[in-house]
A and B are shown apart, each in its own frame.
Chain A
Amino acid sequence: EAQVTQNPRYLITVTGKKLTVTCSQNMNHEYMSWYRQDPGLGLRQIYYSMNVEVTDKGDVPEGYKVSRKEKRNFPLILESPSPNQTSLYFCASSLVPGSGYTFGSGTRLTVV
């Protein structure tokens, strides 16, 4: 089944404790991206990647890092999480523009 898999689905952590949210897709898509969803703000792009070793900032990159060492994986790294990063996170991938991204099921992160 073609899908984007994120882990974990739920995570509660403390301020300053480094964490990684994994994302993997099995569709051989070149484009991958991370979004966060917050009440009243919709979905906003954090980082994106056009292909292996090619990543760049989206609209809200502060406090996040990403890497793209393999085509299928695009982890999101929070080096020192803060409470304002409490959010619902989605990973997405796309083969070509306009065809629509395929989204993962989301990771609900709470930073206390």
Chain B
Amino acid sequence: DQQVKQNSPSLSVQEGRISILNCDYTNSMFDYFLWYKKYPAEGPTFLISISSIKDKNEDGRFTVFLNKSAKHLSLHIVPSQPGDSAVYFCAVQSTGANSKLTFGKGITLSVRP
């Protein structure tokens, strides 16, 4: 059963506007929630994370929101830039013996100039 769901496969946004990428998860026991960005022919790059004890984390143009009661995570990019065009994966992580990342299937963001 899929533990992390990114239900929209793609999103297209005008440059300068806000991009909102959504992610839902099924298990309330995760400790960290992360976003990764991936360009073609490159490995995923860590973007931003949030721990389960917080509901918001901000880093420059990127803000991640966590709604634990809804088991929902979102990434806001403001303002969006053409260089943000990539595949974005959300991931969840538990501490402990295996700090593995469980990924969603990804969403392709296209920022139009």
Residues of B within 8 A of A102 (CB): 46
> How far is B99's CA from A56's CA once the two chains are assembled, in angstroms?
12
**B93→A97 contact, CB < 8 A:** yes
Bound-state CA distance A94–B97 (Å) is 13
Question: How distant is B47 from chain A, measured CB to nearest CB, in Å?
Answer: 8
Min Cβ gap B52→A in Å is 10
Bound complex: CA A44 to CA B89 (Å) = 12
Closest CB-CB distance, A27 to chain B, in whole Å?
A: 13
A100 touches B49 (CB 8 A): yes
B88 to chain A, nearest CB (A): 12
For chain B, the count of residues having a C-beta within 8 Å of the partner chain is 28
Interface status of A24 (Cβ within 8 A of chain B):
no
Cβ–Cβ contact B99 & A42, under 8 A: no
CA distance A60 to B43 in the complex (A): 19
Q: Nearest CB to that of B42 among chain A residues?
A: A105
Query: With the chains together, A100 CA to B93 CA distance in Å?
Result: 9
Which one of B14-22, B69-77, B103-111 is at the interface?
B103-111
B54-109 CB contacts (< 8 Å) to partner A: 89, 93-106
A-B residue pair count with CB separations less than 8 angstroms: 71
Contacts A98-B51, A103-B45 hold; do A45 and B100 have CB atoms under 8 A apart? yes
In the assembled complex, the Cα of A44 lies from the Cα of B106 at a distance in Å of: 12
Cα–Cα distance between A51 and B49 once the two chains are bound (Å) = 24
Known: A42-B103, A43-B103. A58 touches B98 (CB 8 A): yes
A50 contacts partner chain B, Cβ-Cβ < 8 Å: yes
Mind listing 18 A-B residue pairs with CB under 8 Å?
Answer: A33-B100, A42-B4, A42-B103, A44-B103, A45-B100, A45-B101, A48-B98, A48-B99, A58-B100, A90-B43, A92-B101, A94-B99, A97-B93, A98-B95, A101-B46, A101-B101, A104-B43, A106-B43
Report A's interface with B, CB cutoff 8 A: 4, 31, 33, 35, 40-45, 48, 50, 56, 58-59, 90, 92, 94, 97-106
- Across the A-B interface, the 9 shortest Cβ-Cβ residue pairs: A100-B46, A103-B43, A98-B32, A97-B99, A42-B105, A43-B103, A42-B103, A97-B95, A45-B100
